[in-house]
Structure 1
Amino acid sequence: MIHHIYEHYHMHVKELIPLGPYKSFWIRNKIYVLVPIGEMEEEVLVEMKKLSDYMNQQGDITVATFVPTIHGYYVSEIEEQNYCLLKGMRTLERHAMSLGSELSIFHKRGAFFPEEIEQLSRIGEWKALWEKRLDQLEKFWQSQVMNHPSDVFDQLFIESFPYYLGVAENAIQYVVDTEMDDTPQLTDAATICQERFTPLLWHQTKRLKLPFDWVYDHPSRDIAEWIRHMTIEKKKDWEQTIVQFVTDYERNYSLSSFGWRLLFARLLFPLHYFETVERYYQTGNEEQKSIYRDRLEAILHDVNRSEQFMKHFYGSLRLPVDKLGIRKLDWLS
């Protein structure tokens, strides 16, 4: 692989070092990361490059930018796989800002991107995407019911799906009501978000931000997914950690009532349940199936606690729901 890097980029690489799931190398004060991109479409890559260049130009040196080959291309074929090479600065390792503050500054910068984004845009699409996913799983559930399976996972899925169907429909309706009843503010502008923001995402790459993790969406997406991860992991003092994260975020970039309602809807949508069921049926690996079986059992065991968390969510963050005109869900009261 080192030979191929020289061939494509004329860079003398001594060794490749793991960086999260990627391979990386250092040249002077810069880190270079090789990212396998599979069959990613050119239009998607173009938007990622535009966004990463923009963020870098705005002063965010934690964002990695694309490196062209010696022939001026941004994709290289190495050992029959397509790769992009990205570079970042060494100063990342001395980063001391809290994650909530860092995310809010990132969102604030990203919200001023001047061009239109199409391929990476998910803004306003949650309802349609969730409905499609729900319809697909409901059809599959109906077919499973007809088959009368005896497998433990099948039975757990058959028994639990009607409840999660109801929860998902509530989340979808909450988005609909928010869009009808509330008015987006300046902080509701689309910005650069991560496909799935967790406490591990930036940590695994030592705070280097890779555009391959990005989508263009409402900022509440990242906060909701980070909180979701915390509620599933439930590490020591996780509830206090959530409050601190949100407090740090809001110091730089406050959510409007519209944003808070979208965040609540996204948290309410049972993404972890959907993913666990979908992945169980997609894999042929028995070891993986066992992991997903345990995960589903844990999710179902946690239903009451999850309901309690959502019931007290606004209160735990001390949000003035009456002043903001935020509606609570009757079935959670």
Structure 2
Amino acid sequence: MIQHIYENYHIHVKEFTPLGPYKSFWVRNKIYVLLPAGHLQEEELVEMKKLSDYMNQQGDITVATFVPNVQGYYVSEIEETNYCLLKGIRTLERNVISLGSELSLFHKRGAFFSEEIEHLSRIGEWKSLWEKRLDQLERFWQSKIASHPTDVFEQLFIESFPYYLGLAENAIQYVVDTEIDDNPQPTDAATICQERFTPLLWQQTKRLKLPVDWVYDHPSRDLAEWVRHISFEKRENWEETIVQFLTDYERNYSLSSFGWRLLFARLLFPLHYFETIEGYYLTGNETQKYVYQDRLETILRRVDQSEQFLQQFYDLIRLPIDRLGIRKIDWLT
């Protein structure tokens, strides 16, 4: 691999060190990260490069930028796998501001990007993407019923799906109602978000932000995914952690009532359930299947707790929903 890096980039690598799930190496005060890019389309990479260049120009030194190879391309084939090389600088490990504040400043900068983003854009598409995902899983569920499986996971899937179908339909309707009842404000502009923002994402890369994790979407996407993760893990003082995170975020970049509704709609959509079912059937690894089964059993055990969390969410974060004209969902009250 060291030889391949030299051939493709004319960079001498002494040794690789892990950075989260990736290989990285240092050259003087710069860190380089090697990222597999086989799952990304060329058009997506072009947009990721535009966004990372823009964020860097705006002074965000925590964003990694793409390094061209000796042919001037941003993708190199190494050992039959496509890779991108990204670089960042050494000032990363200072953790001087809270995660909520850091995310809001990141969103605020990203919202001023003025070019058109097409391939990474998810803004306004939640409803259609969720409907498509729901239809696919419903058809798959019906095929499983017809085959009368005896496997434990499949029986759990067959029994639980109608409940999560209803939950997903509620989330879709909540988005529809939000778009009818409320008007987006300037802070509802699309910005740079992460595909899945969890507490681990920036932590594992020592605050280096990697464009291959990005989509272009409403800022509530990142907030909702982070809250979903914390509420599922339920570590010590998890409720206070959520309140503090959202409070820190709002100091720099406050959500409108439209944004809060979208955040809640996203929490309502049972993404963790969908990803667990899909993950189980997509993996060929038996050990991994047990991990997914364990996760599904945990999700199903916690249905009441999850409902209670959704029911009390607006109260937990002390959001003045009457003043903002936000309604609660009837069956959760």
- TM-score range for the pair, normalised by the shorter chain length: over 0.9
- In structure 2, distance between residues paired with 1:246 and 1:149: 44
Structure 1 partner of 2:117:
117
The number of residue pairs the alignment matches comes to: 333
Structure 2 partner of 1:105:
105
Shift of 1:69: 1.4
Report the residue type matching 1:167 in the other structure: L
Report the residue type matching 1:103 in the other structure: L
Structure 1 partner of 2:302:
302
Structure 2 partner of 1:7:
7
Report the residue type matching 2:132 in the other structure: K
Q: 1:18-47: CA deviations, max 9, x gaps? A: 111111111111111111111532211110
Structure 1 partner of 2:50:
50
Structure 2 partner of 1:281:
281
- In structure 1, distance between residues paired with 2:152 and 2:209: 41
Report the residue type matching 2:257 in the other structure: S
Q: 1:58-106: CA deviations, max 9, x gaps? A: 0000000011112211111222221111110100012321000000000
Shift of 1:270: 0.4
Q: 1:278-316: CA deviations, max 9, x gaps? A: 111222322112111111111011000000000000010
> Within the alignment, does 1:250 sit opposite 2:250 as a pair?
yes
- In structure 1, distance between residues paired with 2:230 and 2:212: 23
Structure 1 partner of 2:144:
144
Structure 2 partner of 1:329:
329
Structure 2 partner of 1:271:
271
Structure 2 partner of 1:161:
161
Following superposition of structure 1 onto structure 2, how do residues 11-90 of structure 1 map, counting pairs within 5 Å?
11-38=11-38, 40-90=40-90
Q: 1:215-240: CA deviations, max 9, x gaps? A: 00000000000001111111111111
Report the residue type matching 1:100 in the other structure: G
- In structure 2, distance between residues paired with 1:56 and 1:26: 19
> Within the alignment, does 1:314 sit opposite 2:317 as a pair?
no
Q: 1:124-150: CA deviations, max 9, x gaps? A: 000001001111111111122222222
Q: Is there any run of 5+ residues in structure 1 with no aligned partner, and where? A: none
- In structure 2, distance between residues paired with 1:77 and 1:142: 41
- In structure 1, distance between residues paired with 2:66 and 2:81: 17
Structure 2 partner of 1:173:
173
Q: 1:147-181: CA deviations, max 9, x gaps? A: 22222112211111111111100000000000000
State the identity %: 79
Structure 2 partner of 1:241:
241
Task: Tell me if the contact between 1:171 and 1:269 (Cα under 8 Å) persists in the aligned partners.
Answer: yes
Task: Tell me if the contact between 1:69 and 1:75 (Cα under 8 Å) persists in the aligned partners.
Answer: yes
- In structure 2, distance between residues paired with 1:214 and 1:284: 27
Structure 2 partner of 1:93:
93
Task: Tell me if the contact between 1:92 and 1:206 (Cα under 8 Å) persists in the aligned partners.
Answer: yes
- In structure 2, distance between residues paired with 1:319 and 1:201: 27
Task: Tell me if the contact between 1:39 and 1:82 (Cα under 8 Å) persists in the aligned partners.
Answer: no
Report the residue type matching 2:134 in the other structure: L
> Within the alignment, does 1:226 sit opposite 2:255 as a pair?
no
- In structure 1, distance between residues paired with 2:118 and 2:298: 38
Secondary structure of 1:312 counterpart = helix
Residues 241 and 324 of structure 1, relative CA distance in 2, 3 Å threshold: same
Identify which range, 127-136 or 284-293, moves more after superposition: 284-293
> Within the alignment, does 1:185 sit opposite 2:185 as a pair?
yes
User: Could you tell me the TM-score, scaled by structure 2's length?
Assistant: 0.98
Residues 15 and 274 of structure 1, relative CA distance in 2, 3 Å threshold: same
> Within the alignment, does 1:196 sit opposite 2:196 as a pair?
yes
Secondary structure of 1:254 counterpart = coil
Report the residue type matching 1:44 in the other structure: E
Residues 29 and 250 of structure 1, relative CA distance in 2, 3 Å threshold: same
Task: Tell me if the contact between 1:127 and 1:172 (Cα under 8 Å) persists in the aligned partners.
Answer: yes
Report the residue type matching 1:154 in the other structure: E
Identify which range, 135-144 or 321-330, moves more after superposition: 135-144
Q: 1:157-215: CA deviations, max 9, x gaps? A: 11111111111000000000000000000000000000000000001100000000000
Secondary structure of 1:200 counterpart = helix
Identify which range, 284-293 or 312-321, moves more after superposition: 284-293
Secondary structure of 1:82 counterpart = strand
User: Could you tell me the TM-score, scaled by structure 1's length?
Assistant: 0.98
Secondary structure of 1:163 counterpart = helix
Report the residue type matching 1:33 in the other structure: V
- In structure 2, distance between residues paired with 1:285 and 1:65: 34
Secondary structure of 1:32 counterpart = strand
